[in-house]
Amino acid sequence: MSRVGKKPVTVANGIDVSLDGTVIVAKKGNDEKRLETHGRVEMSIDGAEVTFGRVGESKESAAFWGTYRALFANIIEGLDKGFKKSLEINGVGYRAAIQGKMLNLQLGFSHPVEYTIPDGLDIKVEKNLIHIAGSDKQAVGQAAAEIRSFRPPEPYKGKGVKYTDEVIIRKAGKSAS
């Protein structure tokens, strides 16, 4: 029995939820999120609660049951509060700047690294911090991971791009013998 799938998802005020076959649609203002579900998962809307159930008793349907419930809960949380990730740039001469829909990064290479900001995301730069915000949890995490991948932090001096809450395990340099 899925403990995640059993819990109903409470829909916040101002978010409209509708069911269209196997697609569940959540809407707040002009922001609309769609979740196409698998045929082994059934959904029902009870006022301000959405419940998920499984079709059949197979292990596969139990896995889909909890997964789709969690994905829909993330959609509701994203429309209600939004998601945010912050990155920190460490290194001499390392900097970031926004120009239109591009994030320009100077990361110690002989050329600047340009990252196109995806639609639906809001990226702000202040000193050595990059803040990524949006209503889609997957898109926010993916953008943060892509930016971090340009120059991951190295263990000796800690230079590179890291999440603000990430702890870099430092290594000792060469020992004089």
pLDDT tens-digit map of 85-117: 999 999 999 999 999 999 999 999 999 999 999
pLDDT at 109 (0 to 100): 95
Q: Does residue 2 fall inside a structural domain?
A: no
Of 30, 52, 81, the position where a domain reaches its end is 81
Task: Identify the CA nearest to 62 among candidates 1, 18, 123, 132.
Answer: 1
Q: What is the total count of domains within the chain? A: 2
CA dihedral 13, 135, 37, 142 (to 10 degrees): -160
Q: Which domain holds residue 154?
A: 83-163
Q: Does residue 172 fall inside a structural domain?
A: no
Of 49, 81, 113, the position where a domain reaches its end is 81
Give pLDDT < 70 ranges for the chain. Answer: 1-2, 177
